[in-house]
C-alpha cells in the first residue's frame, strides 16, 4: 500500500525492514523486490563500491551515538565513489545484528538516512540478518561519464588535498586517553562528508587521478604511488592540519574522507574554496621514480613518515 514499491510479506525480518523503510520515508525507493533498479544516465558508466563497519572495529558506541555510527558508515562508503568523481545513484544496506538489538538498528538507520539525504543518494535495497556481532555493509552505486581512477597521474604533476586533516585522529587520541575531544575534531570523526561534488568539480578541471583518504594521507599517497608506478613527494609544511591536530594526526590519521588528487595544471584554489567552503591545498608532487613510494619532507629535509591504519593487522 505504500507508493515506494511492492508490499513485503510477513515475518520478523520483514517487520524490521518495514520499520527501517518507514524511518527513511521518501529516501527509500523500490524496497521489497528481489533486487533494486538503478538506471544510469545514457552513456555513463556505473561505479560500485562496498564497505563494512563492524562494531568494536570500525566504530565504538561508547565513543559515538548509533546515529553517528550509521552516518559515518554510509559516508565512508560514499567516499569511495566520490573518489571516482561519480554521482551517487543508490545504496544497498546489509545489517547483521543480534535479535535483541533491534532498537539499535533503528537508531543507526536515523544516521544512515541523514547521510543519504546529505549526499542525495536514495536507499534502494538491503538485507537484515541475525548474527552475534553488529555490522553494516554499505554498497553504493554511482555513475560517471568519465570515472576518475587512482591511476592516471604523470611525473611532475601537483598533488592536492581537500579540506583540513587530522581531526578524526586527534579525536581518537583524546577518546583513547579518556579526554573529551575538541568538538570540531569529534565532528570530523562522527560526521565526515564524502566529497562528491568536490570530486566532480576537480575532475572537470583537469584532475588526473584521485583517491579518498581512508588509510591516512601517507598510506593513501602510497596507494596512489603504487597505482601509478610513480613516487609521491609530500611537503609536510604545506599540509592543512585542523586546529589542534598534530602533524602525525594529519599525516597518518585515517578515515578523513578528504580527497587526494593529482592535477595536470595548477588548480584554482580560491574558486574551490568559494564553491565548497573548504580549502584545496597543494601538498606535493608526483615523482618519476617508480617504486620510490612516499617521501615526506619538512623544512626541506626528509622525515620518517608514520604509516596509516591497517584494519587487518592484529
Name which of residues 57 to 96 contact a second copy (CB under 8 A): 57-58, 79-81, 83-84, 86, 90, 92-94, 96
Do 75 and 193 form a contact (C-beta atoms < 8 A)? yes
Do 292 and 233 form a contact (C-beta atoms < 8 A)? no
**Three-state DSSP class for 118?**
helix
Find the part of the chain contacting a second copy (CB under 8 A) among 61-69, 113-121, 139-147, 241-249: 139-147
- Chain-centroid distance of CA 132 in Å reads 26
CA angle 231, 50, 210 (to 5 degrees): 30
Within positions 2 to 31, which residues make up the interface with a second copy, using CB under 8 A?
A: 6-13, 16
User: CB-based contacts of 188: which residues, under 8 Å, 6+ apart?
Assistant: 167, 168, 171, 242, 256
Using CB under 8 A, which of 2, 41, 60, 151 touches a second copy? Answer: 151
Should residue 141 be labelled a site residue for a second copy when binding is judged by CB under 8 A? yes
Do 159 and 259 form a contact (C-beta atoms < 8 A)? no
Using CB under 8 A, which of 24, 51, 186, 236 touches a second copy? Answer: 51
Using CB under 8 A, which of 19, 52, 106, 235 touches a second copy? Answer: 52
Query: Which x/- pattern, by CB under 8 A, does the window 163-202 give for a second copy?
Result: ----------------------------------------
Should residue 261 be labelled a site residue for a second copy when binding is judged by CB under 8 A? no
Q: Using a CB cutoff of 8 Å and minimum separation of 24, what contacts does 10-15 make?
A: 12/99, 13/128, 13/129
Should residue 45 be labelled a site residue for a second copy when binding is judged by CB under 8 A? yes
H-run or E-run covering 72: helix 66-82
C-alpha cell at 125: 535495497
Should residue 312 be labelled a site residue for a second copy when binding is judged by CB under 8 A? yes
Using CB under 8 A, which of 24, 59, 69, 135 touches a second copy? Answer: 135
Find the part of the chain contacting a second copy (CB under 8 A) among 66-74, 159-167, 168-176, 210-218: 210-218
Using CB under 8 A, which of 127, 268, 271, 302 touches a second copy? Answer: 127
Burial class (CB in 10 A: 0-12, 13-18, 19+), 152: middle
Find the part of the chain contacting a second copy (CB under 8 A) among 32-40, 161-169, 178-186, 240-248: 32-40
Should residue 212 be labelled a site residue for a second copy when binding is judged by CB under 8 A? yes
Using CB under 8 A, which of 19, 61, 106, 149 touches a second copy? Answer: 149
User: CB-based contacts of 45: which residues, under 8 Å, 6+ apart?
Assistant: 143, 144, 145, 147
User: Minimum distance between the CB of residue 145 and a second copy, rounded to whole angstroms?
Assistant: 11
Using CB under 8 A, which of 60, 273, 302, 311 touches a second copy? Answer: 311
Do 231 and 148 form a contact (C-beta atoms < 8 A)? no
Do 88 and 81 form a contact (C-beta atoms < 8 A)? yes
Should residue 217 be labelled a site residue for a second copy when binding is judged by CB under 8 A? no
Do 38 and 124 form a contact (C-beta atoms < 8 A)? yes
Q: Residue 133 or residue 268: which is nearer to a second copy going by CB?
A: 133
Using CB under 8 A, which of 49, 114, 162, 262 touches a second copy? Answer: 49
Q: Fill in the DSSP letter of residue 100.
A: G
Longest dimension (CA), the chain: 67
Find the part of the chain contacting a second copy (CB under 8 A) among 134-142, 246-254, 269-277, 297-305: 134-142
Using CB under 8 A, which of 122, 163, 222, 240 touches a second copy? Answer: 222
Amino acid at each position: 500500500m505504500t507508493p515506494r514499491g511492492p508490499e513485503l510479506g510477513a515475518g520478523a525480518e520483514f517487520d524490521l525492514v518495514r520499520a527501517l523503510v518507514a524511518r527513511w520515508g521518501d529516501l527509500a525507493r523500490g524496497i521489497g523486490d528481489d533486487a533494486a533498479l538503478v538506471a544510469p544516465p545514457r552513456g555513463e558508466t556505473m561505479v560500485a563500491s562496498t564497505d563494512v563497519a563492524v562494531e568494536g572495529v570500525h566504530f565504538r558506541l561508547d565513543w559515538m551515538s548509533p546515529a553517528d555510527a550509521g552516518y559515518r558508515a554510509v559516508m565512508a562508503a560514499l567516499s569511495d565513489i566520490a573518489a571516482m568523481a561519480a554521482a551517487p545513484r543508490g545504496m544497498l544496506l546489509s545489517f547483521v545484528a543480534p535479535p535483541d538489538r533491534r532498537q539499535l538498528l533503528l537508531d543507526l538507520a536515523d544516521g544512515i538516512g541523514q547521510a543519504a539525504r546529505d549526499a542525495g543518494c536514495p536507499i534502494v535495497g538491503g538485507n537484515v540478518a541475525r548474527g552475534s556481532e553488529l555490522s553494516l555493509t554499505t554498497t553504493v552505486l554511482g555513475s560517471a561519464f568519465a570515472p576518475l581512477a587512482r591511476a592516471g597521474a604523470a611525473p611532475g604533476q601537483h598533488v592536492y588535498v581537500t579540506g583540513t586533516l587530522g581531526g578524526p585522529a586527534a579525536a581518537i587520541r583524546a577518546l583513547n586517553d579518556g579526554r573529551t575531544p575538541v568538538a570540531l575534531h569529534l565532528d570530523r570523526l562522527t560526521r565526515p562528508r564524502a566529497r562528491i561534488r568536490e570530486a566532480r568539480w576537480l575532475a572537470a578541471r583537469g584532475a588526473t587521478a584521485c583517491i579518498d583518504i581512508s588509510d591516512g594521507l601517507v598510506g593513501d599517497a602510497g596507494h596512489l604511488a603504487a597505482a601509478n608506478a610513480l613516487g609521491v613527494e609530500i611537503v609536510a609544511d604545506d599540509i592543512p592540519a585542523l586546529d589542534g591536530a598534530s602533524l602525525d594526526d594529519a599525516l597518518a590519521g585515517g578515515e578523513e574522507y578528504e580527497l587526494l588528487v593529482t592535477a595536470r595544471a595548477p588548480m584554482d584554489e580560491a574558486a574551490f574554496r568559494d564553491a565548497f567552503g573548504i580549502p584545496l591545498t597543494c601538498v606535493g608532487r608526483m615523482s618519476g621514480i617508480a617504486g620510490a613510494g612516499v617521501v615526506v619532507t619538512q623544512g626541506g629535509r626528509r622525515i620518517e613518515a608514520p604509516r596509516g591504519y591497517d584494519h587487518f593487522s592484529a
